[in-house]
Structure 1
Amino acid sequence: MNLEDYLPVLLFIMVGIGVGVAPQVLGRLIAPHKPDAAKLSPYECGFEAFEDARMKFDVRYYLVAILFILFDLETAFFFPWAVASRELGWQGFVAMMIFIVEFVIGFWYIWKKGALDWE
């Protein structure tokens, strides 16, 4: 076992840790910490952050978030398919067309159900 063989892997891990930790440390050291009413108010989720865990809340926020993640992940499949479309041939093309049809049917279904309507 030669340590020089693992040097690129160790370097990659150290750079990854540095990229993840350095901005957090710099943000904590440099950024001003002045909480006020606007910063501590509820945002995006629609309810206070520190209240009773058994309170009623609107699930529309979570529904939209889940739908966004679902369709965002599905669209991520288009990029590798576009890059490798020539190597996949007709079989890959037909498989992707089936995927696109299922994608459009799912989008049409949630649109007709009103899951994307915001009141």
Structure 2
Amino acid sequence: MLKIFMSFLLTMSLSIIIMILCIMISKKSIIDREKMSPFECGFDPKSSSRMPFSSQFFLIAVLFLIFDIEIVIILPMIFTLKTSSMMNWFMTSSTFIIILLLGLYHEWKNGILEWAK
């Protein structure tokens, strides 16, 4: 019981110390016009540098990351082919690929993959 209490006390004290340090370090500086303006060789910018980006671009980027991670999951299946039975390997890999294809169909059907509307 004493070990649990000491570890809890140590964890809480470290958390409080880190929070106090972060509060002390992260003092906001005075925001002025020169610090907030983008650097363009000393001239005033011609357009706003704070333009919002397209949410469609964000969705495409998230989909790319998801499919990229899925490819990383698929690649070790090649190495497990030698060590597992063929039927188990085939069922597992086909289930995974069918789930991927169903997700792709769902995204395509909802129009997420269309860039210009």
User: What's the TM-score once normalised by structure 1's chain length?
Assistant: 0.51
Once the two structures are superposed, residues 1-59 of structure 1 have per-residue CA deviations (whole angstroms, 9 ceiling, x without a partner) of xxxxxxxxxxxxxxxxxxxxxxxxxxxxxxxxxx77xxx9xxxxxx83xx3xxx76531
Q: Percent identity?
A: 27
- Structure 1 SS opposite 2:84: helix
Which residue does the alignment assign to 2:4? none
Match of 2:22 in 1: none
Report the 3-state secondary structure (helix = DSSP H, G, I; strand = E; otherwise coil) of the residue aligned with 1:114. coil
CA distance in 1 between partners of 2:80 and 2:112 (Å): 34
Identify unmatched segments of 5+ residues in structure 2.
Answer: 1-39
- Give 2:55's aligned residue: 59
Instruction: Select 2:98's aligned residue among 79, 96, 101.
Output: 101
**Moved >4 Å (runs of 4+):** none
Q: What is the Cα deviation at residue 70 of structure 1? A: 0.3
Task: State the alpha-carbon separation in 1 of the partners of residues 92 and 54 from structure 2.
Answer: 38
Q: For the aligned residues, what is the CA RMSD?
A: 2.9
Structure 1: runs of 5 or more not aligned: 1-34, 41-46
How many residue pairs are counted as aligned between the two chains? Answer: 73
**Aligned counterpart, 1:86:** 82
- Structure ID, larger Rg: 2
Separation in structure 1 between the aligned mates of residue 113 and residue 79 of structure 2, nearest angstrom: 31
Mapped to 1, the partners of 2:66 and 2:93 lie a distance apart of 17
Task: Kindly indicate whether structure 1 or structure 2 has the higher relative contact order, using CA contacts under 8 Å at least 6 residues apart.
Answer: 2
Given residue 86 of structure 1, which amino acid in structure 2 is its aligned partner?
K
Q: Normalising by the residue count of structure 2, what TM-score does the alignment of the two structures yield?
A: 0.52
